[in-house]
Amino acid sequence: MNISDAAKVWLITGASSGFGRILAELALARGDAVVAGVRNPAALADLGERYPETLLPITLDVTDADGPRAAVATTEARFGRLDVLVNNAGFGLIGAVEELAPQEYRPMFETNLFGLIEMTRAALPLMRRTSGGRIVNLSSVGGFTGRQGFGLYNASKFAVEGLSEALAEEVAPFGIKVIIVEPGAFRTAFLGRSITAGATRLAAYEQTSGATRDFSDANNGAQPGDPARGMALLMQAILAEAPPLRLPLGRDALARIDRKLAMVAADIAPWRSRSEDTGFDGPSA
């Protein structure tokens, strides 16, 4: 199918609900084409009835070895190009580092990090053909600052941020921009459906990760962030000529990032001169 040059072609992973679904609706409403990667395409049946020509739901598991390549091939076959890749698929895990077992945290890394890497690698050859593309990686405020009980989730998102920073430099010559999205607490189904707690709960961590578990359970449904407003801002950033590398979403995210920046500066300051003195002496130092 041919679409106008003014329209954009999107590939969104994890598009059945939450941020992914909202972003797909916004793109379709402005006349763009969307390839929506979901576990069950029936979840988008209502949206397909409204946009039968420009929405293409596909079954996609980003952890499947062939899934990312097949999704990009399908996008090219249907729409001829890819302008915006949104790596949204992911889930969370609560528990102290000592509490969580490999069978609990490794699948999270497969989706949050390795699935994102493979989607990006698969998409880049097609995206490099058209200048002005966008790669949007859904991180979290937890990808910038750690929190007790979320250590391994933090690790998966910190990795996404480091990869994204390097990727932004690598793809800049092709006119492709990378956006790292760092939401705070938004009122989506994430806490209810996309985040789980580890099976082991040790008494030794009741005051730290245990408190985080209890807080998350008690506050599900009372998150301050409005998903529709958050995705409207993200859409503005994606369409901007000069989008930010990092886009925090929500006052809570901004507050945590500000605290982290201040803590890092305070941590470095008393050791700065000694750190500078660790180099070799002499004129070439």
CA angle 29, 232, 92 (to 5 degrees): 110
Q: Which residues are catalytic?
A: 139, 153, 157
- Write down the domain spans for the chain: 9-252
Quick one: tokens of 7?
């329209």
Q: How confident is the model at residue 285 (pLDDT cuts 50, 70, 90)?
A: low
Output the CA–CA distances (angstroms, integers) from residue 102 to 99, 108, 110, 237, in the order listed: 10, 10, 12, 37
Output the CA–CA distances (angstroms, integers) from residue 217 to 85, 195, 255, in the order listed: 32, 11, 22
Sign, CA dihedral 261-140-171-21, equals negative
User: Which DSSP string corresponds to 234-276?
Assistant: HHHHHHSSS--SEEEESHHHHHHHHHHHHHHHHHHGGGHHHHH
Model pTM?
0.93
- Alpha-carbon 213 to chain mean position: 22
Rounded CA gap, 189 and 242, in Å? 31
Note the pLDDT tens digit of each residue in 215-248.
766 566 678 789 999 999 999 999 999 999 999 9
Contact 114, 164 (CB under 8 A): no
Note the pLDDT tens digit of each residue in 60-115.
999 999 999 999 999 999 999 999 999 999 999 999 999 999 999 999 999 999 99
Contact 127, 85 (CB under 8 A): yes
CATH 3.40.50.720 for the 9-252 domain, yes or no? yes
Kindly state the helix (H) or strand (E) to which residue 181 belongs, with its residue range: strand 177-183
Contact 62, 111 (CB under 8 A): yes
Q: What pLDDT shows up at residue 218? A: 54
- Alpha-carbon 219 to chain mean position: 22
| Averaged pLDDT for residues 147-170 | 97
Query: DSSP label at 224?
Result: S
Q: How confident is the model at residue 185 (pLDDT cuts 50, 70, 90)?
A: confident
Instruction: Return the residue matching tokens 């705070």.
Output: 184
- According to DSSP, the residues that pair with 134 across neighbouring strands are 84, 177
User: Which DSSP string corresponds to 30-89?
Assistant: TT-EEEEEES-GGGGHHHHHH-TTTEEEEE--TTSTTHHHHHHHHHHHHHS---EEEE--
Q: What pLDDT shows up at residue 117? A: 98
Rounded CA gap, 203 and 199, in Å? 13
Q: What pLDDT shows up at residue 177? A: 98
| Burial classification of residue 127, based on how many CB atoms lie within 10 Å of its CB (0-12 exposed, 13-18 middle, 19 or more buried) | buried
